[in-house]
Amino acid sequence: MQVLTIATPGGLENILNNEVDPPTPGAGEVLVRWKATSLNYHDYLVAAGGIPVADGRVPMSDGAGVIEALGDGVSEWEVGDKVMSLFFPDWLDGDASAANTAAVTGDSVDGFAREFSCEKAVSLTSIPKSYTFAEAATLPCAALTAWRGLVVEGNLKAGDTVLIQGSGGMSVFGLQIAKAAGAYVYATTSSDKKAERLQALGADHVINYKEDEKWGKTIAKLSGGVDHILDVGGPSTLEHSVEAVGFGGKISLIGVLGGRKGEFVLPKMFFKHASMNGIAVGSRAMQQDLVRAIDVAEFKPVIDRSFALTELADAFRHQESGAHFGKIVLEY
Ligand SMILES: NC(=O)c1ccc[n+]([C@@H]2O[C@H](COP(=O)([O-])OP(=O)(O)OC[C@H]3O[C@@H](n4cnc5c(N)ncnc54)[C@H](OP(=O)(O)O)[C@@H]3O)[C@@H](O)[C@H]2O)c1
């Protein structure tokens, strides 16, 4: 089988392609034949050396595939079941803790840039009924994060206002989930062409943040204050999110596209009684709820482009260019 690994110190030129024998599942494990993965900014940071990982780490936190064999004692899956991975393979239910979020696929433990692996049977969920493997592989990191920010932590209701930022994988899922729930969606993006695509997906008001430098204030004026914001930029967006958020609104701190430290005017948060909370993906139970929601709401991920497994570095270069809209996948 083929498996890609990252050689220390990382960098796209240090993604290696290896041939190894497929493993055999132990007790409580299943053998999965992975068919697709998708690129997240986190995977890019790992591959590019921005997040140091062990030499020989298998990258990619997202996988979708089919169960090929069962280890002893596995009763919840059958051979042929279509499954997807978890970003936190040990966070099954309940609250996050240091213990259940220590293992991160494609980072502190091996991920899914490989054709086969043995996984704990509990560290998988089903995929949505109408989804291909490529579509399912877009969900475990990006869609689950948007779902958690808006639905699990945000208690999003029909009629609420939502702000999504940029047209990357997580944000486009935020738009789709918000529209499926009956929310009014503000969106920002860097180009008029991407703005048209966001509108075609249901965004109610789109702002080009390169043309409107005070876009947070503009959205505050238009909306009277937004109920839910998925912040992806940190220093490039947080100040605007704090302007745009409404009384009692919620800012989900999700991304670091603009850097790792941010500044904002503190009273603007507390005089609006607004809250800010850190979101790191979600649990297996949240992922199962997301799948149930997609089976009813039936929205499909926006797949920008598909590459082969061995083209991972090219796929990251495409992501790096910022030309993509939605998700980039590898199919194998
Ligand atoms: N905390 C979590 O659990 C979690 C989970 C998923 C993602 N994230 C984070 O969320 C962010 C987005 O991740 P992703 O995988 O969706 O990325 P992605 O698919 O690579 O999307 C990036 C997009 O964001 C926009 N953008 C780029 N630089 C920006 C900047 N400085 N300020 C504002 N927008 C910018 C661009 O869209 P436009 O051209 O349309 O502006 C770009 O295409 C990353 O920081 C990632 O680490 C966090």
User: How would DSSP label each residue in 171-188?
Assistant: HHHHHHHHHHTT-EEEEE
For the chain, the average pLDDT equals 97
The residue whose C-alpha atom lies closest to atom 10 belonging to ligand 1 is 255
Atom of ligand 1 nearest to the CA of 256: 45
179 and 117 within one domain: no
Q: Is the pTM of this model over 0.95?
A: yes
Which pLDDT tens digit goes with each residue over 181-199? 999 999 999 999 999 999 9
Position 208 scores a pLDDT of 98
Which pLDDT tens digit goes with each residue over 212-223? 999 999 999 999
- 26-65 per-residue burial string, b: 16 or more CB within 10 A, e: under 16: eeebbbbbbbbbbbbbbbbbbbbeebebeeebbbbbbbbb
Atom of ligand 1 nearest to the CA of 142: 6
Of 199, 105, 193, residue with least CA distance to 144: 105
Q: Is residue 146 part of a domain?
A: no
Span from the CA of 164 to the centroid of ligand 1 (angstroms) = 10
Pocket test for ligand 1, best of 38, 39, 41 (most atoms within 8 A of CB): 41
Q: Band of the pLDDT at 262, cuts 50, 70, 90?
A: confident
Q: Is residue 148 part of a domain?
A: no
184 and 59 within one domain: no
Looking at 236, 260, 278, the residue that finishes a domain is 278
Q: Is residue 168 part of a domain?
A: yes
CATH number, position 215? 3.40.50.720
CATH number, position 290? 3.90.180.10
Query: What is the domain extent for residue 111?
Result: 2-141+282-331
Which pLDDT tens digit goes with each residue over 27-79? 999 999 999 999 999 999 999 999 999 999 999 999 999 999 999 999 999 99
Whether residue 298 is predicted with pLDDT greater than 90 in this model: the reply is no
290 and 240 within one domain: no
Position 159 scores a pLDDT of 98
Q: Is residue 180 part of a domain?
A: yes
Whether residue 127 is predicted with pLDDT greater than 90 in this model: the reply is yes
Q: Is residue 149 part of a domain?
A: no
The residue whose C-alpha atom lies closest to atom 2 belonging to ligand 1 is 280
Which pLDDT tens digit goes with each residue over 92-104? 999 999 999 999 9
- In percent, the amount of the chain with pLDDT more than 70 equals 100
The residue whose C-alpha atom lies closest to atom 21 belonging to ligand 1 is 168
